[in-house]
Amino acid sequence: MGANHGISLPERSQRARQIEYVLWLTLFLNWGIALFKLVFGYLTHCIVIVADGFHSLSDGSSNIVGIAGIRAAARPDDPTHPYGHWKYETLAAIILSFFLFAASFSIIREAWNSFRHPRQPEVTSWSFGVMALTLAVNIFTAWYERKRGRELRSELLLSDAWHTITDIFVSLAVFAALAGILLHIPWVDSVFSVLIAALIAYAAFGILKHNAGVLCDRVAVDSKVIEALVRKIAGVEDCHEIRTRGRTGDIYIDLHVLVDPAMSVELAHGLSNVIERDIRAGIEGVTDVIVHIEPTTHTHEELKES
């Protein structure tokens, strides 16, 4: 028993358009600041700024993947995809993590080349000005993406926001590297570039781990939370075999509920609707609840054998 009362097609389309707007906005911000840093970094031979420029460039590239992913995810349910296409959004977030791993490798390679063939970077007040502008853009982008990601319950935007939060720490690391260059500390440019690469790789691993769990149907809600909600409902004698899967804003739940064997089919159906209603009210982002009604005359062992 139980029915799917998920997001309607117009709501999905509107949500997809809103997510896509955020991705386009951050794409232009990322690529604009990336071009600025790459040109300035190469002109001044400052590898740490070049490394940060490649990082921003990868941010923009991942946004393109995100836009393609969210367009695929917004497609309506069909006979071959009865649960919809929303995992394409999760898949896009995973692809984003591989962009980050690639950017990390590229930065380490540049740092190694700089270590083997050192050149004295040119650091001026303009260098600090470029990074100050970068920091301001990163703070705004991270705040905006995180805000919209929570409002739209988008794993893709939340993953990209976490990515941008690491950009803030990267920019602070670049500030430290520039200060070290001014003080003529040996190889500081290369050392901080490797630190930036490590931060990027760490963010990539976190994004990959979280979204891979969604694709592999990791538990979405603690079963004890659902059990506590259901056992409070009049007519429910027990519940078991609770299973959950899904992602933020798109959670699927199914469970077995034990009732009085004398309960009529009509009352059992009504009870399943109450259970579904209370679960939806108590747990945010539930798309579908399937309730299996069972008489208490059967033991759990008998039910497993049947």
**Chain segment 155-196, per-residue pLDDT in tens:** 778 877 877 777 777 777 777 777 877 777 777 767 777 887
Dig out the tokens for 61 from the structure. Answer: 């590239």
Higher pLDDT pick, 92 / 301: 92
HSE-up of residue 154 (Cα within 13 Å, Cβ side): 36
Structure tokens at 40: 């300035």
Q: Distances from the Cα of 261 to the Cαs of 1, 87, 191, in angstroms?
A: 16, 40, 71
Residue 8 scores a pLDDT above 60: no
Q: Is the pLDDT of residue 299 over 60?
A: no
Higher pLDDT among residues 119 and 271, named by residue: 271
pTM of the model: 0.63
Q: Please report the pLDDT score of residue 2 as a whole number.
A: 41
- Please give the mean pLDDT across all residues of the chain: 80
Q: Is the pLDDT of residue 302 over 70?
A: no
Task: Report DSSP state, residue 252.
Answer: E
Residue 303 structure tokens: 């039910």
Element of type H or E holding 197: helix 188-215
Total number of residues shown for the chain: 306
Tokens of 91: 């898949």
Domain 9-215 is of which CATH architecture? Up-down Bundle (1.20)
Using one digit for the tens of pLDDT, what is the confidence trace for 136-158? 988 898 899 889 888 887 877 88
56 and 37 Cβ atoms separated by less than 8 Å: yes
Q: Would you call 76 exposed, middle or buried from its count of C-beta atoms within 10 A (0-12, 13-18, 19+)?
A: exposed
Alpha-carbon distance of 39 to 126, in angstroms, equals 13
Q: Give the pLDDT band (50/70/90) at residue 207.
A: confident
For the stretch 219-271, pLDDT in tens is 888 899 999 999 999 999 989 999 999 877 778 999 999 999 988 989 999 99
Q: Which of 162, 159, 160, 148 is nearest to 16 (CA)?
A: 148
Residue spans in the chain of domains classed CATH 3.30.70.1350: 223-305
Chain region(s) in the chain for CATH 1.20.1510.10:
9-215
With bands split at pLDDT 50, 70 and 90, how would you rate the model's confidence at 5? very low
Do residues 214 and 285 touch, judged by C-beta distance below 8 A? no
What percentage of residues in the chain have a pLDDT greater than 70?
88
CATH number of 223-305: 3.30.70.1350
Give 31-52 as a 3 state SS string: HHHHHHHHHHHHHHCCHHHHHH
Give the rounded distance of the alpha carbon of 299 from its chain centre. 41
Q: Report pLDDT for 3.
A: 39
Half-sphere exposure of 98 (CA within 13 A, CB side): 7
